[in-house]
């Protein structure tokens, strides 16, 4: 029996799993959801078949979920045959679903259509800002994922794997993972390549350690507006259908054509150095080192700057446009993706208690007091790139600033994997 067999004993989120541990769950209904703007900045989550069918309906058809539409930018000289391709752009996506439901009587039909028209009315998305609907697609759970590239550190609860794809494949806190033949419970999932487990790793620090987990429910979000439907048209040909219920096509337009995964993060901060310890080796020699206190005389040391590169493994298929949150104090912070040679600089001293958020999609840098902060560099082209632009999907992000304070200053990169289609 393989060392990770404990993973096979659990049910697959209430669904029926085949005996093949590599197989996906079977018997899974369509679990799509529509998230509708609610009060304030909240969203109301509606399972698709409950929204459109009170739990009895069915999703008959959907289209437009695959590759985002695109066009090529070309030029042609006066004597040129054909065209020269210069670039490409993705276009607005149109997605359509067809739903059907039965109702008990005409009164229920009219009540049901009134509820639907109220929930889906477009003016829910328009107020002080545009808040689109979110079409959420859930991807199957159950398959066992394995690898042999886990990096572990003695006494640490943080483990990493280039090939883990932990968030993309639906891992949540409380799930199980096997590392080197030992079962752990996941306490946190910061990103696709990092797990925080419930107990420190007891063995020797190592790389290329075996790992295994059962895939959870992954999800993708499409930000869209309802462009057309439900029409509730009735004619002689529709009479039989509408005596028993309805069948409707709904057309959504996604002006941002990409599907988004869950939010991930990576943080750079200032860590205090260990205590500087002085003692004697039993002779007249005095020893000093950074470590635990051994004796009565020692000092703690802390830095005031960050100058560090971290490798971010990016599993999206379209470049992610991250937000960068900088907590002061920090003087002249700089963030660079050395893999694609893109850099953002702030010629600015962020004070203690001040926080600056750089949004690389909106091309803004704003502090927590609402002030615009000047920035220079490659703001429009800064991203986490997929392969092949980022070889082996690795983006090396270099962060630096000075004048920081331990326990206060930090830079946090937040992003969502972007996908050209599902």
Q: What is the pLDDT of residues 65-124, one digit of tens each?
A: 999 999 999 999 999 999 999 999 999 999 998 877 778 888 888 888 888 888 888 889
The per-residue pLDDT for range 19-68, each reduced to its tens digit, is: 333 334 433 435 788 999 988 889 998 887 777 664 455 566 788 999 99
Beta bridge partners of 163: none
- Residue range(s) of every CATH 2.40.30.180 domain in the chain: 5-25+145-214
Confidence (pLDDT) at 397: 95
Cβ atoms within 10 Å, residue 228: 12
CA angle 385–320–207, rounded 5-degree value: 60
Max CA distance (Å), the chain = 106
Question: Do 125 and 223 touch, CB atoms closer than 8 A?
Answer: no
Structure tokens at 395: 């983006």
CATH of 33-138+221-257, one of 3.50.7.10, 3.40.640.10, 1.20.120.10, 2.40.30.200: 2.40.30.200
* Cα 260 off chain centre by: 7
CATH of 305-419, one of 1.10.150.130, 2.60.120.860, 2.130.10.10, 2.40.30.260: 2.60.120.860
Burial of 6 (0-12, 13-18, 19+ CB in 10 A): middle
Encode 30-51: b = buried (16+ Cβ within 10 Å), e = exposed. bbbbbbbbeeeeebeebbbbeb
Structure tokens at 43: 């969203």
Residues 6+ apart with CB under 8 A from 412: 265, 266, 267, 268, 324, 325, 327
The per-residue pLDDT for range 233-291, each reduced to its tens digit, is: 876 655 544 556 788 889 999 999 999 999 999 999 876 544 455 555 556 565 555 45
CA distance 205 to 152: 5
Structure tokens at 85: 């391709």
- Residue range(s) of every CATH 2.40.30.200 domain in the chain: 33-138+221-257
For residue 387, the number of C-alpha atoms closer than 13 Å in the C-beta half-sphere is: 6
CA angle 332–398–323, rounded 5-degree value: 75
Structure tokens at 403: 């004048």
- Residue range(s) of every CATH 2.60.120.860 domain in the chain: 305-419
Q: How far apart, in Å, are the Cα atoms of 189 and each of 26, 193, 197, 260?
A: 26, 9, 9, 17
Yes or no: domain 5-25+145-214 corresponds to CATH 2.40.30.180: yes
For residue 183, the number of C-alpha atoms closer than 13 Å in the C-beta half-sphere is: 11
pTM: 0.83
């Amino acid at each position: 029996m393989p060392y990770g067999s404990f993973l096979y004993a659990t049910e697959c989120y209430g669904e029926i799993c085949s005996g093949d541990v590599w197989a996906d769950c079977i018997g899974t209904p369509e679990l799509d959801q529509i998230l509708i703007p609610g009060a304030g900045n909240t969203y109301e989550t509606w399972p698709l078949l409950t929204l459109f069918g009170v739990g009895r309906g069915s999703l008959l058809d959907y289209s437009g979920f695959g590759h985002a539409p695109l066009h090529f930018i070309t030029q042609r000289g006066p004597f040129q045959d054909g065209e020269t391709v210069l670039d490409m752009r993705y276009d607005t996506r149109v997605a359509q679903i067809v739903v059907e439901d039965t109702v008990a009587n005409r009164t229920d039909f009219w009540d049901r259509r009134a509820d639907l028209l109220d929930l889906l009315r477009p003016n829910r998305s328009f107020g002080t800002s545009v808040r689109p609907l979110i079409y959420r697609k859930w991807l199957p759970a159950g398959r066992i994922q394995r690898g042999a590239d886990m990096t572990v550190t003695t006494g640490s609860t943080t483990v990493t794997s280039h090939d883990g794809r932990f968030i993309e494949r639906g891992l949540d806190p409380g799930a199980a993972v096997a590392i080197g033949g030992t079962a752990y419970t996941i306490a946190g999932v910061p990103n696709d390549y990092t797990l925080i487990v419930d107990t420190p790793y007891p063995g020797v620090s190592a790389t290329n350690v075996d790992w295994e987990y059962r895939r959870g429910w992954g999800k993708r979000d499409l930000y869209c507006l309802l462009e057309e439907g439900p029409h509730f048209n009735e004619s002689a040909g529709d009479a039989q259908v509408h005596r028993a219920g309805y069948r409707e096509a709904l057309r959504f337009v996604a002006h941002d054509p990409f599907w988004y995964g869950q939010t991930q993060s990576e943080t750079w901060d200032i860590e205090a150095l260990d205590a500087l310890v002085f003692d004697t080796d039993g002779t007249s020699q005095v020893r000093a080192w950074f470590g635990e206190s051994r004796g009565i005389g020692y000092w703690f040391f802390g830095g005031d700057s960050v100058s560090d590169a971290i490798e971010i493994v990016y599993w999206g298929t379209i470049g992610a446009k991250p937000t960068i949150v900088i907590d002061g104090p920090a003087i002249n912070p700089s963030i660079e993706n050395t893999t694609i040679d893109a850099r953002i600089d702030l010629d600015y001293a962020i004070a203690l208690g001040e926080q600056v958020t750089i949004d690389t999609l909106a091309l803004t840098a704003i502090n927590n007091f609402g002030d615009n902060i000047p920035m220079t560099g490659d703001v429009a082209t800064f991203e986490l790139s997929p392969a092949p632009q980022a070889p082996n999907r690795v983006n090396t992000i270099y962060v630096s600033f000075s004048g920081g304070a331990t326990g206060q200053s930090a830079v946090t990169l937040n992003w969502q994997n972007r996908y050209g289609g599902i």
